[in-house]
């Protein structure tokens, strides 16, 4: 199972040639994908009515992983670690990273600069 960051899904949405996207390349060798409920939220607030059908179809086929108490505890620890090292990242990325660590999922992202700051998080290249 690979946890997809919103950057991967947005790239897939925006590019007219889907074969040139990271998500398409991943789907050639992987069949199990999920997103954090945080990513679902990010997509939801940026979704326009004209794009609703695309996102609805896409998210219907991808498992949404809940952000629960264990994820929150991990997010707190990540936050403290990043704060101490003066390497803070966006809150949404921190919460998505915490979800991935909690469930031991690697993360596929186009925003490696943020996610690589989270210790022990596996990133998909």
Q: Where are the domains of the chain?
A: 2-124
- Compute the Cα dihedral for 86, 90, 93, 98 and give only its sign: positive
Please tell me whether the overall predicted TM-score, pTM, comes out greater than 0.85 for this model. Answer: yes
* Burial (CB count <10 Å: 0-12, 13-18, 19+), residue 113: exposed
Q: Are 75 and 81 in contact (CB under 8 A)?
A: no
94 CA to centre of own chain: 10
Q: Which CATH number does the domain 2-124 belong to among 3.40.395.10, 3.40.50.300, 3.40.50.1010, 2.40.420.20?
A: 3.40.50.1010
Q: Rounded to an integer, what distance in angstroms lies between the CA atom of residue 115 and that of residue 53? A: 29
pLDDT tens, position by position, 99-110:
999 999 999 999
pLDDT tens, position by position, 65-98:
999 999 999 999 999 999 999 999 999 999 999 9
Confidence at residue 97, expressed as pLDDT on a 0 to 100 scale: 97
Q: Rounded to an integer, what distance in angstroms lies between the CA atom of residue 63 and that of residue 82? A: 28
Confidence at residue 47, expressed as pLDDT on a 0 to 100 scale: 72
């Amino acid at each position: 199972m690979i946890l997809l960051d919103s950057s991967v899904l947005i790239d897939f949405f925006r590019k007219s040639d889907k074969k040139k996207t990271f998500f398409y390349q991943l789907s050639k060798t992987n069949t199990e994908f999920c997103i954090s409920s945080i990513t679902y939220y990010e997509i939801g607030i940026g979704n326009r009515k004209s794009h609703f059908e695309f996102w609805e179809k896409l998210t219907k086929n991808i498992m949404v992983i809940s952000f629960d108490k264990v994820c929150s505890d991990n997010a707190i620890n990540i936050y403290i670690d990043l704060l101490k090292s003066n390497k803070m990242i966006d809150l949404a990325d921190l919460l998505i990273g915490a979800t991935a660590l909690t469930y031991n999922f690697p993360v596929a992202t186009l925003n490696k600069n943020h996610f690589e700051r989270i210790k022990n998080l596996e990133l998909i290249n």
